[in-house]
């Protein structure tokens, strides 16, 4: 409950305070940063530069601190740490970092490539207000975060108001999403509510969803599923998650909180609030 209330308080905050010089060791990103910067707290990078590795300047074991503000755009990351020394991309302590994929491109908001990287304490959204369509397509709204990398951890994220909140590509093993809050994702089609909180599939695994809070999607809370010929469902675990009120935004009513095909589920809490329409 504490993590949920904390996220809601964060959501109500308006604007951000001026960014003061950073004191933590590592590289820095600000909304006014530049590719010509050196990544220091006084000459920070823009987000795209940092996520591409800044021309080889970011190495295993480095930390990239993302400072307060809204970063509008779609991003593809390509960072490679090591098993002993992952790269960490983290929101600066005490600051609200929002990555908003509503740039008009229609592309997925934040696509993670690379390996051995942790994404920590970031908020992701798509501020496009359009939530209804006459199309039955499952791609009407872009995914917010899509994993296409190996040995990746997602820690204490907030993901909301997108298409699918978090999606895993099937060929990329060793992925964990932990302690994150996912809500208000998806859209209304003519057939049903589309867009799930966690959409998990994998050929090898492990893929672990642990201790997340997932609620108020148009579609499922946690969807462990693959169409024929579109990947397998191997090594996927959902452990200690709270999933409730999913499907409540759709005109068709509640959806499954956790939909799975024989995968490991342990100590998850599921529930629905009655449709009040």
**Which is more confidently placed, 245 or 20?**
245
**Position 7 confidence tier, pLDDT thresholds 50, 70, 90:** very low
- 61 vs 8: CA distance, rounded Å: 32
Percent of the chain with pLDDT over 90: 58
Residue 138: which residues within 8 A CB-CB, separation 6 or more? 194
- Statement: residue 230 has pLDDT above 60: no
Q: Say yes or no to pLDDT of 146 above 50.
A: yes
CA distance 40 to 25: 9
Looking at the DSSP bridge assignments, the partners of residue 265 are 238
Domain chopping of the chain, boundaries: 22-98, 129-277
Most confident option among 18-22, 24-28, 153-157, 245-249: 153-157
Is beta strand 187-188 parallel, antiparallel or unpaired with respect to 193-194? antiparallel
Counted residue by residue, the chain has a size of 277
> Is 241 buried (19+), middle (13-18) or exposed (0-12) by CB count in 10 A?
buried
DSSP secondary structure string for all residues of 163-212: SSSEEE-TT---EEEES-EEES--EE-SSSEE--SEEE-BSS--EEEES-
Backbone φ and ψ of 50, nearest 5°: -65, -45
Is residue 158 predicted with pLDDT exceeding 60? yes
The rounded mean pLDDT for the chain is: 84
Q: What torsion do the CA atoms of 209, 210, 216, 222 make, to the nearest 10 degrees?
A: 30
As a whole number, mean pLDDT of residues 97-108 equals 95
Instruction: Please give the helix or strand (H or E) that residue 144 lies within, else none.
Output: none
Cβ pair 177, 157 in contact under 8 A: yes
Q: Which pLDDT value is given to residue 10?
A: 44
Q: What is the pLDDT of residue 93?
A: 97
Q: Tens digit of pLDDT for each residue in 205-215?
A: 899 999 999 99
First-to-last CA distance in the chain?
Answer: 26
7: DSSP letter: H
Other CB atoms within a 10 A radius of the CB of residue 86 amount to: 21
Predicted confidence band of residue 50 (pLDDT cuts 50, 70, 90): very high
Q: Which of 26-30, 251-255, 262-266 has the lowest mean pLDDT?
A: 262-266
pLDDT, position 12: 39
140 against 244, higher pLDDT:
244
């Amino acid at each position: 409950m504490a993590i949920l209330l904390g996220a809601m308080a964060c959501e109500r905050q308006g604007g951000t305070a001026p960014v003061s010089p950073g004191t933590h060791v590592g590289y820095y990103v600000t909304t006014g940063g530049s590719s010509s910067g050196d990544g220091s707290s006084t000459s920070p990078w823009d987000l795209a530069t940092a996520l591409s590795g800044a021309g080889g300047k970011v190495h295993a074991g480095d930390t990239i601190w993302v400072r307060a503000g809204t970063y509008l755009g779609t991003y593809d990351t390509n960072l490679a740490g090591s098993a002993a020394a992952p790269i960490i991309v983290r929101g600066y302590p005490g600051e609200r970092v929002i990555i908003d994929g509503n740039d008009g491109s229609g592309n997925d908001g934040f696509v993670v490539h690379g390996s051995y990287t942790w994404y920590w304490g970031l908020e992701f959204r798509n501020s496009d207000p359009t939530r209804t369509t006459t199309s039955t397509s499952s791609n009407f709204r872009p995914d917010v975060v899509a994993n296409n990398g190996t040995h990746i951890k997602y820690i204490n994220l907030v993901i909301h108001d997108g298409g699918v909140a978090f999606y895993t590509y099937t060929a990329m093993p060793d992925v964990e999403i932990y302690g994150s809050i996912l809500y208000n994702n998806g859209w209304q089609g003519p057939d049903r509510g589309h867009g799930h909180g966690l959409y998990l599939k994998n050929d090898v695994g492990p893929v672990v969803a642990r201790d997340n809070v997932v609620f108020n999607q148009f579609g499922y809370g946690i969807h462990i599923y693959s169409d024929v010929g579109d990947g397998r469902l191997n090594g996927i675990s959902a452990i200690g998650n709270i999933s409730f009120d999913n499907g409540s935004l759709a005109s068709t009513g509640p959806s499954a909180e956790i939909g799975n095909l024989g995968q490991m589920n342990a100590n998850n809490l599921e529930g629905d609030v009655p449709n009040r329409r």
